[in-house]
Structure 1
Amino acid sequence: MGNCFSSKNKKPPRRLGSSHGQAIGSSSRYGGKGRSMRKEKVEEALIHEQALAALLLQQNGVAPFDRSSSLRYPGPGPKQTLPRSSSSRARSMTDPLLKPQQLVNQDLKIDDLETNHFLLVHGGGFGAWCWYKTITLLEEGGFKATAIDLTGSGIDSSDANSISSLSQYVKPLLDFLERLGDGEKVILVGHDFGGACISYAMEAFPQKVAKAVFVAAAMLTSGQSALDLFSQQAIPNDLMQQAQIFLYGNGNDRPPTAIDLDKSGLRDLLFNQSPAKDIALASVSIRPIPFPPVLEKLVLTPENYGSVRRFFVETQEDHAIPLDLQQSLIKANPPHKVFRLKGSDHSPFFSKPQALHRLLVEISKIQ
C-alpha cells in the first residue's frame, strides 16, 4: 500500500510487511552434495503435494487440513525493472528443506510453553490457503495451527464490496478468540493488512493473546489507519499502483468499495522470490480487498493492545512493502524484538517457509 491509496483514478497502496536462516553444509564425500540436493527436492515435493492436496480438499468442502484447526466462515518515475521469480533458479541454501522435526529445538518441550497454538491471519486479498506450508510445518513439529478466512476472503462467501468496517472484516477472528476457553491463549501472526486486524483483536481480547507477530505487516499506532501507514512512503510504489484496480460496488460516482489486483503484476509485486507453483495457486485464489477497513483509524490503548508483546518480521526482498518502509514502522512503534528474513519476498510463507517456521518456533520459546 504505498501512497497509492488516494481516490478516484489514482491507485492506492497496499501492504505491509527475520529469521536467521543458516546454510546447511553439504556432504564432504564426493558426490554427496548432488545426492543431498536430489533428496531435498524429493522431500520438498512430497511435503508440498501433501499440503496442497489437503488444501484442495478443504476448499472443496471435503475436509479440513489433517489434524489442522483451519477455520472457514461461510456466510454473510520510470517503470521499475526488477528481478523475476527465483522459481527457475536452484533452491537457496539459506532456506534448506528439513524434516519438520529437525526444525524444532530438541530441548524444546511443547507442554512447557505458554501456548503452542498459532492463530494465522492472512493479508489483504489472501486467505487461510496461503498458510498451508506453515500449517504443515507447525503441526508436524507438535504445534497447533489455526488459519482463518476473514470476511470476504478465501472461501468465505461474502462480497468484498459489501464490507463497510474493520469490525465486520475481522469478525471471524474475533469470534474465534471469543470462543477460546478460560486461560486459553494463542500467538497471533498477522501478514500485510492482517497486522491491522491482529491489532484490533489485541485491543479487544488482550487476555487471550500471548504474543503478536507482525510479518511484513501493518503495525499501527492509535489513531492510525492502514492508509495513513502506507502513505508514509516518500517514493510512490509504481508496482503497487500498476497492480491495483479500484472497484465501485455502489456506482462510479461513489467512493471505491474494494481493490482488486491485476494478476499479471502479482509475480513482481508479491512473489518475486516464490516458487511458480505457489504463484499459480495465488493467482486463482486472491480476492478483492475491501476498501473501508483500510481507511479506518484504530483506537489502541496501553492497557489492552500495549499489554501484548509484539515481534516484527522484516522481509528483505519485499517489493510491496520495501524494507525502508518496514523499518520506519518499527521506529514509529517499536516492538519487543525484530527479526529479518533474508531473501524473502512479501510472502515468506511461500518464499521462505522453513526460515519463517524456525522463527515462529523461536518466538514461541521467548519467556
Structure 2
Amino acid sequence: MGGSKHIVLVHGATLGGWSWFKVATPLRAAGYRVDTPDLAASGVDPRPLREVPTFRDYTGPLLDLLAALPDGDRVVLVGHSLGGLNIALAAELFPDKVAAAVFLCAFMPDCAATRPSHVLEKFVEGKWLDWMDTEMKPQDTEGKLPMSMMFGPRILREKFIQLCSPEDATLTSSLMRVSSLFMEDLAVKQPFTKERYGSVRKVYVVCKEDYAIVEGFQRWMVENNPVDEVKEIVADHMVMLSRPKELVQCLTDITEKYA
C-alpha cells in the first residue's frame, strides 16, 4: 500500500526511536518508508543532555533528516508528546518537505504572537498534571543549561503506561533517559509563523485515556489552533506500545489521505 510514501516518527522526552518498534515494523511491512530518529541525547544518541543546550540542538537529528531529503520529497511527520514541538520546528524550517504534521497526544504550539514555550507554560500553570515523583533539577550552577527531567516509577506507572503490558512497562522504564522540556530556551525564541508552520496541514490524534497530557488539554490545544482533522484512539500516553494496531491503522489512513 505504502509505495514510496515516507513517515517520520518522532519520540517524546525521555524516550527514543525504540519506542516506535511496534508501529514502525507493520508500517514498513505495508510498504511505507519509515524513519524513527533518535533526537539528541535520546535513545542511542551518545551525547549527554549537558551537550544539548538548546531545543534546536535537541531537534538536530530530525532537522538533518529533512535537510537531506531530495527536492520534491515530502514526509508525514508524527510527533508524540513533547515531539509535537519538534515537528512544529521542523515544519517551520522545512514547510515544503512536510505533507502533514500529525500531533499524537502531543504538545501543539500555535501561530499567534506567543513564544514556542506558551503551550508548555499553560500546561504547567494550569496544573494539568500531578508531577508526582518526577525529578527536575538544574544541570549547572549558572543556569545556562535547561532544567533536566526524569520521570519516576510512580508517575510512569499511573500516568503514562497504565494500559501497557508489564513487559512494555519494563522496557519503557529500562530505556528512558534524562531529558528536558527546554522551557528556558523555548521562552526566548520567536513564535512559529503562519506563513511556514501555519501553512502545513495538521492532524491531531487524541488519546482518550491519556493521564499525562489529558484529553481536556489536548482538546484545548485543538481549539486554540484548529487543525485539518481530529482523530481519536482509546489509549494511554504510550499509545504506540499499548494500542499499536489502532495507531498503525490511524497513521495509514492519515498518510493515504495527505501524502
Question: Structure 1 length as normaliser, TM-score?
Answer: 0.65
Deviations 1:157-187 (A, max 9, x none): 1111332211111010110101111111111
Q: For 1:302, which of 187, 190, 194 is the aligned residue?
A: 194
Q: 1:20-169 residue pairs with structure 2 within 5 A?
A: 109-111=1-3, 116-169=5-58
Deviations 1:105-157 (A, max 9, x none): xxxx534xxx6111010011110010000111101111111000111111111
Task: Mark the runs of 5 or more structure 2 residues left unpaired by the alignment.
Answer: none
- Give the greater-gyration-radius structure (CA): 1
Residue 365 of structure 1 corresponds to which residue in structure 2?
256
Q: Does 1:212 align with 2:101?
A: yes
Residue 247 of structure 1 corresponds to which residue in structure 2?
137
Deviations 1:205-224 (A, max 9, x none): 11111111000111101354
Q: For 2:231, which of 322, 339, 349 is the aligned residue?
A: 339
Question: Structure 2: how far apart are the matches of 1:298 and 1:220?
Answer: 12
* C-alpha deviation, 1:252, in angstroms: 8.5
Residue 192 of structure 1 corresponds to which residue in structure 2?
81
Q: Does 1:270 align with 2:160?
A: yes
Deviating runs (4+, > 2 A) in structure 1? 222-228, 230-239, 251-257, 290-295
Task: Mark the runs of 5 or more structure 1 residues left unpaired by the alignment.
Answer: 1-108
Contact 1:190 1:217 in 2 (8 A): yes
Question: Structure 2: how far apart are the matches of 1:227 and 1:137?
Answer: 34
* C-alpha deviation, 1:260, in angstroms: 1.4
Question: Structure 2: how far apart are the matches of 1:216 and 1:359?
Answer: 13
Computed over aligned residues only, the root mean square deviation of the Cα atoms, in angstroms, reads 2.1
Contact 1:162 1:257 in 2 (8 A): no
Amino acid paired to 1:161: R
- Asked which structure has the greater RCO (Cα within 8 Å, sep 6+), the reply is 1
Amino acid paired to 1:251: T
Question: Structure 2: how far apart are the matches of 1:255 and 1:168?
Answer: 12
For residue 118 of structure 2, give the secondary structure of its aligned residue in structure 1: helix
Taking structure 1 as reference, are residues 245 and 354 closer, same or farther at Cα in structure 2, changes over 3 Å only? same
Taking structure 1 as reference, are residues 337 and 270 closer, same or farther at Cα in structure 2, changes over 3 Å only? same
Q: State which drifts further: 215-224 or 245-254.
A: 245-254
For residue 139 of structure 2, give the secondary structure of its aligned residue in structure 1: coil
Question: Structure 2: how far apart are the matches of 1:226 and 1:268?
Answer: 28
Question: Structure 2: how far apart are the matches of 1:199 and 1:258?
Answer: 22
Question: Structure 2 length as normaliser, TM-score?
Answer: 0.91
Q: For 2:243, which of 345, 352, 358 is the aligned residue?
A: 352
Question: Structure 2: how far apart are the matches of 1:310 and 1:155?
Answer: 29
* C-alpha deviation, 1:264, in angstroms: 3.6
Question: Structure 1: how far apart are the matches of 2:116 and 2:166?
Answer: 29
* C-alpha deviation, 1:291, in angstroms: 4.2
Amino acid paired to 2:229: K
Deviations 1:261-294 (A, max 9, x none): 1134311121011111111111111111234356
- Percent sequence identity over aligned pairs: 30
Amino acid paired to 1:146: D
Contact 1:226 1:295 in 2 (8 A): no
Question: Structure 2: how far apart are the matches of 1:226 and 1:110?
Answer: 33
Amino acid paired to 2:251: L
Q: How many residues align?
A: 254
Contact 2:146 2:183 in 1 (8 A): no
Question: Structure 2: how far apart are the matches of 1:232 and 1:255?
Answer: 22
Amino acid paired to 1:272: Q
Amino acid paired to 2:74: K
Residue 42 of structure 1 corresponds to which residue in structure 2?
none
Contact 2:50 2:145 in 1 (8 A): no
